[in-house]
Amino acid sequence: MKSEFWHQRWSEGQIGFHQSDINGYLQEHWRNLYLDQGTVFVPLCGKSSDMLWLRDQGHSVIGSELSELAVKDFFEENGLTPTIEEAERYQRWSSDGITILVGDIFKLRAEDLMGVTTLYDRAALVALPESMRWDYVHHLQKILPHQCKMLLIATTYPQEEMAGPPFSVDEREIRALYKSHWQVEQIFTHNFPDDHPRLKNRGISRMEESVYLIS
């Protein structure tokens, strides 16, 4: 999956993966991380409103996003005027406690995320095909501070019934991906009923969403 794919999705408005509301799992389970008011990293953040919620809990927020259009929309739609700085590997857009690094997440380095205490992943791991997921997790191992925790939300469904993204990533794969450096705890799972409109609209026979605490 190349960067052109995501640029095209944003330019054509094909952003069904975007949630305009604050994610309910985030609001319900964030307290399980037992966090102080540290800095939260949101990979592949798009224009997620979750960043506003995290900031309102007292956190500084750093997002990473490939699409400049998505980042521009985020600041405009939320009435924020960003300061834009050119760096060697990305643009830095900042306003009111939220900074988004515009560029390829695989070009980020450890010094870019100094001070980060938590990673919130609702739409990063599941946005990547299987062939890229190990590279993504391996990269996180290199750039995240050692004591960083994660709140991860993942979706599982019969992959052959729908072309991602979002892709199906089950518990066994998540444990395999993160086991070398982190402990994985599944803290919540929701199974959608067979007649749920979300399943019918996508032609999926079953789906579940799970929340993981990774530390």
Q: Is 70 exceeded by the pLDDT of residue 19?
A: no
Q: What pLDDT is attached to residue 2?
A: 59
Q: What pLDDT is attached to residue 201?
A: 80
List strand residue ranges (DSSP E) for the chain, in order.
39-43, 60-65, 83-86, 91-95, 98-102, 116-121, 149-156, 184-191, 208-214
By DSSP bridging, strand 98-102 and strand 116-121 are unpaired
Q: b vs e for 100-136, b when ≥16 Cβ sit within 10 Å of the residue's Cβ? A: bbbbebeebeeebbeebbbbbbbbbbbbbeeeebeeb
User: What end-to-end distance do the CA atoms of the chain give, in Å?
Assistant: 28
pTM over 0.75? The answer is yes
> Which of the 8 DSSP states describes residue 26?
H
Q: Is 60 exceeded by the pLDDT of residue 1?
A: no
Q: Is 80 exceeded by the pLDDT of residue 45?
A: yes
- 123 phi, psi to nearest 5 deg: -135, 20
By DSSP bridging, strand 184-191 and strand 208-214 are antiparallel
Higher per-residue confidence, 118 vs 197: 118
Least confident of 123-132, 139-148, 197-206: 197-206
CA pair distance 172, 112, nearest whole angstrom? 31
Residue 179 vs residues 56, 113, 205: alpha-carbon distances, Å: 32, 22, 30
Closest listed residue to residue 67, CA positions, set 98, 95, 44: 44
Q: What pLDDT is attached to residue 34?
A: 83
Q: Is 80 exceeded by the pLDDT of residue 15?
A: no
Instruction: Yes or no: say if 49 and 19 are a contact pair by the CB < 8 Å rule.
Output: yes
Binned at pLDDT 50, 70 and 90, residue 6 comes out as very low
Q: What pLDDT is attached to residue 18?
A: 44
144-174 per-position pLDDT tens digit: 999 999 999 999 999 999 888 899 999 999 9
Was domain 3-11+19-214 assigned CATH 3.40.50.150? yes
Question: In the predicted model, what is the mean pLDDT of residues 30-42?
Answer: 90
